[in-house]
């Protein structure tokens, strides 16, 4: 699946398909975003500039902003950004496919969060997106990525599927783009520090 295929599918998706908790109800959907924002708040420096890449309709971005973070919501889907703007018209937004995130936001961020993008892309697209996200973060900044590891990694064959990576694959990408994996207990997603490439 190319990045363009994933974007086209999300643009056409029913809002109910965005997250499993939407099947339960809108309150559960919003609560899941608040819970994830609270978890992120345990690793993100207070008040820092955070880009939520793949923000969708703001499920996590809006609660992060309510917690006092300087949030920029980024997504490749204008339809998703339009839905976010309906809920929070004052939220700064940028359209980005990830590879161009640094140019889209203009000023490097203290942190980039991407909780629902990498799982939908093949290895090549995923690696390009990670490189773009890394380029958008200041040196020593943080990246929190939904980037699942598996002993039997597989590439997703559909826009809503899940691509998993081996730890060796991830380590190779981290060394190439400049990410250091941090040991953070209680976090459901891996957390990385932006470092010089090759370290």
CATH number where 188 lies? 3.40.50.150
Give the domain extent around 101: 3-194
- Average pLDDT, stretch 18-32? 64
In a domain, 199, yes or no: no
Alpha-carbon span 77 to 98, nearest angstrom: 11
Phi, psi of 91 (to 5 degrees): -70, 125
Alpha-carbon span 161 to 193, nearest angstrom: 27
User: How many structural domains comprise the chain?
Assistant: 1
Q: What is the pTM of this model?
A: 0.88
Write out the H or E segment, with its range, that includes residue 140. Answer: strand 137-145
Write out the H or E segment, with its range, that includes residue 112. Answer: strand 109-114
In a domain, 112, yes or no: yes
Q: Could you tell me which residues are beta bridge partners of residue 114?
A: 145
- The model's pLDDT over 113-127, given as tens digits with 9 standing for 90+, comes to 999 888 888 899 999
The confidence band for 165, taking pLDDT boundaries of 50, 70 and 90, is: very high
């Amino acid at each position: 699946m190319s990045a363009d295929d994933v974007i086209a599918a999300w643009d056409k998706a029913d809002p109910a398909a965005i997250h499993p908790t939407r099947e339960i109800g809108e309150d559960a959907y919003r609560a899941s975003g608040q819970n994830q924002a609270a978890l992120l708040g345990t690793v993100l420096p207070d008040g820092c500039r955070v880009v939520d890449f793949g923000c969708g309709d703001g499920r996590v971005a809006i609660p992060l902003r309510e917690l006092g973070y300087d949030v920029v919501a980024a997504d490749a889907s204008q339809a998703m950004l339009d839905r976010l703007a309906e809920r929070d018209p004052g939220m700064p937004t940028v359209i980005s496919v990830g590879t161009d995130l640094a140019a889209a936001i203009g000023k490097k961020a203290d942190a980039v969060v991407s909780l629902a993008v990498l799982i939908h892309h093949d290895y090549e697209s995923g690696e390009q997106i990670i490189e773009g996200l890394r380029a958008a973060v200041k040196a020593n900044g943080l990246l929190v990525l939904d980037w699942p590891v598996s002993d039997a990694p597989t590439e997703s064959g559909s826009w809503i599927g899940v691509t998993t990576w081996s730890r060796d694959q991830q380590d190779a990408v981290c060394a190439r783009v400049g990410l250091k994996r941090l040991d953070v207990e209680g976090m459901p997603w891996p957390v990385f520090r932006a470092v010089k490439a090759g370290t």
